[in-house]
Amino acid sequence: MTGLKTGDQGAMAQLYDRYSSVVYAIALRVLGDTGAAEDVLQEVFLQLWRNPSAFDAARGSLGSWLAVVTRNRAIDSLRKRRPETDIENVVLSVAPDLASDAERARAAEKVRGVMGTMAPAQRSALEMAYWEGMSHSEIADKTGEPLGTVKTRIRAGLIALRKAFQT
Amino acid sequence: MNGHEQYAEDLALYALDALTGEDRVKLAQHLATCASCRLELEQLRGDTALLALSAAGPRPPQRARQRLLDAVAREPRTVIARPNAPRLAWWGWLGWAATAAVLVFALSLWRENLTLQSTLASAGFQAAESARQLDELRKIAAPIIEPEAQRVTLVAAKAPPQPQGKAFYLKNRSSLVFLANNMPALPPQKAYELWLIPTNGDPIPAGVFKPDSHGSATVVNPPLPAGAEAKAFAITVENEAGSPKPTSPVLMMGTGE
């Protein structure tokens, strides 16, 4: 990141080599289209190049930050809306960095394990919100469940993930 | 969450950008003044990053790397990294009142922007840019409104610290910032309530607050009726849920300077 802040293009290439696979995987999962996912990949890294100060290393890991930014951009693209979240507003507490393939594979296995233990309705609500960018009211409309139930399920799902990584 | 459980579920949705409408606007307003909820939001965003891990797929095509590096080479760096030193030297020259006035203005714009964002998705790009600029102003104002900020009240030497409150009010925006220092501790289940005393009519509730361990408190943009003319502001002690009308003697009161 230091190199990026001084405009070092080699540093950009290194960051790309380290994180492009996770960024691309997230964009592809949301969009289901390789061309659109590639566009998001390009956009996310260019945003970081243009404004490296948007990422605050004291507040979280770069890998997790890129994951959140990528998912938000991909959802914007999916819903055919202009970018709504400025990357400077994405602040998250420390989470796994996902810098290496092995680290990502271990973490992915753990996430899939937690998701597998969730009730189908809870997993479904969480996935609709996260991967499809649906609002709580859209999820409630689609599932026929009360808004409060949808809210409770989504929060409980996120907390379950958090706990799995705290142990 | 320290008494903020009512926001817990909405915070999770907010972290996923899945909260819409009035709920979103209300939570955004609360986040502007609540450090513990902002911290929880950051944690929840970290949790959403974990969800991203479950995505697996092929690596990006090789051409994508070259495409990015070509774009980087074509695009000289235009953004100047922010120094860690105080960002705006002129800030120190502003008086406290002027500072707070800027803060009120910024927060009211920010609030309007949130409302716009929730209702005018098509204006998203401009709203995002506007939000970025206003967020910057909010960061600048953080030493005034953040609970963790060190607050020092200077008084005449040898004078004991006295409870003190300052209200900054923009009638045409219904925006109010109130800062208090040296407030005495409260009995259990009680809170201070701020009142806008209009030129005509009954006192209007303008926020309930409890001072921190240092006696400091902040109220930012409580719900107020549009365009209420303020003759004065006052403080009473009420039940912690707040009261629609004052039920105890006025402890502090002030009129416009």
Radius of gyration of chain A (CA): 17
Q: Which range scores top for mean pLDDT: B18-27, B85-94, B165-174, B193-202?
A: B193-202
Residue B61 lies in a domain: no
Write the pLDDT tens digit of every residue in A140-164: 999 999 999 999 999 999 999 888 8
Q: Does residue A80 have a pLDDT over 50?
A: yes
Secondary structure (DSSP) of A46-99: HHHHH-GGGS-GGGS-HHHHHHHHHHHHHHHHHTT----S-GGG----------
Mutate to test the interface with B, among A31, A158, A163 (most CBs of B within 10 A): A158
Contacts of B194 (CB under 8 A, 6+ apart): B165, B167, B178, B205, B206, B207, B208, B209, B219, B222, B233, B234, B235
Distance separating alpha carbons of residues A73 and B117, to the nearest angstrom: 16
- In chain A, the number of structural domains is 2
The more confident residue out of B179 and B104 is B179
How far, in Å, are A50, A88, A137, B54, B72 from residue A43 at the CA level?
A: 10, 15, 30, 22, 11
Alpha carbons A18 and A10: distance in angstroms, whole number: 13
| Full residue range of the structural domain in which residue B206 is found | 164-255
Q: How does the average pLDDT of chain A come out, rounded?
A: 84
Is A64 near chain B, with CB under 8 Å?
Answer: yes
**Percent of chain A residues topping a pLDDT of 90:** 47
Distance from the Cα of B26 to chain A's closest Cα (Å) equals 16
Determine the Cα–Cα distance for residues B44 and B12; give it in Å rounded to an integer: 6
CA nearest to A109 within chain B: B54
The predicted pLDDT at position B137 comes to 67
Percent of chain B residues past pLDDT 90, beyond the cut:
12
Q: Which of B57, B220, B61 is nearest to B142 (CA)?
A: B220
Assign B85 a pLDDT band (cuts: 50, 70, 90).
very low
> Å from B6 to nearest chain A CA?
12
Q: How many C-beta atoms lie closer than 10 Å to residue B101's C-beta?
A: 17
What integer is the mean pLDDT of B110-132? 54
Mean residue pLDDT of chain B comes to 75
Shortest distance, CA B35 to any CA of chain A (angstroms): 13
Range of the domain at A159: 100-167
User: Residue A127's closest chain B neighbor by CA?
Assistant: B51
pLDDT band at A117 (very low <50, low <70, confident <90, very high): very high
| Residue of chain A whose alpha carbon sits nearest to that of B71 | A46
Residue B69 resides in a domain: no
Question: How many other β-carbons are positioned within 10 Å of the β-carbon of residue A102?
Answer: 8
Of the residues A54, A80, A96, which one is the last residue of a structural domain?
A96
Q: Mean pLDDT across the stretch B192-221?
A: 87
pLDDT surpasses 70 at A79: yes
CA distance B116 to B93: 33
What pLDDT is recorded for position B77?
62
Tokens of B196: 């806008």
Size of the A and B interface in Cβ pairs below 8 Å: 212
Q: What is the pLDDT of residue B61?
A: 92
CATH number at residue B168: 2.60.40
Q: Which residue in chain A is spatially nearest to B129 when comparing CA positions?
A: A86
Q: Does B60 map to a domain?
A: no
**Which residues, 6 or more positions from B188, have their beta carbon under 8 angstroms from its beta carbon?**
none
Do A57 and A91 have their domain in common? yes
Residues A90 and A104 in one domain: no
Residues A83 and A115 occupy one common structural domain = no
How large is the average pLDDT for residues B61-84? 74
Closest CA to A20 of B70, B76, B63, B78: B63
Nearest to B128 among A24, A86, A110 (CB): A86
* The two three-digit tokens of residue B67, written as one number: 């495409």
**What confidence category does residue B125 fall into, taking pLDDT thresholds of 50, 70 and 90?**
very low
**Distance, in angstroms, between A116 CA and closest chain B CA?**
11
Q: Do the beta carbons of residue B155 and residue A112 sit within 8 Å?
A: no
Give the residue-averaged pLDDT of A125-148: 93
A:19-58 residues touching chain B, CB 8 A cutoff = 20-26, 28-29, 34, 37-38, 41-42, 45-46, 49-53
Instruction: Note whether A149 contacts B: Cβ–Cβ < 8 A.
Output: no
Tokens of A74: 């991909």
The reply to whether residue B49 touches residue A129, judged by beta carbons under 8 angstroms, is: no
Instruction: Identify whether residues B180 and B241 lie together within a single domain.
Output: yes
Percent of chain B with pLDDT over 70: 65
pTM: 0.56
Total tally of structural domains belonging to chain B: 3
Asked if A132 and A165 sit in the same domain, the reply is yes
Residues A48 and A127 in one domain: no
Note whether B132 and B205 are same-domain residues.
no
Greatest mean pLDDT among A69-83, B123-137, B180-194: B180-194
Q: Are residues B141 and B224 in the same domain?
A: no
Query: What CA–CA distance (Å, rounded) separates B138 from B104?
Result: 10
A104 shares its domain with A91: no
pLDDT of B102 over the 80 cut: no
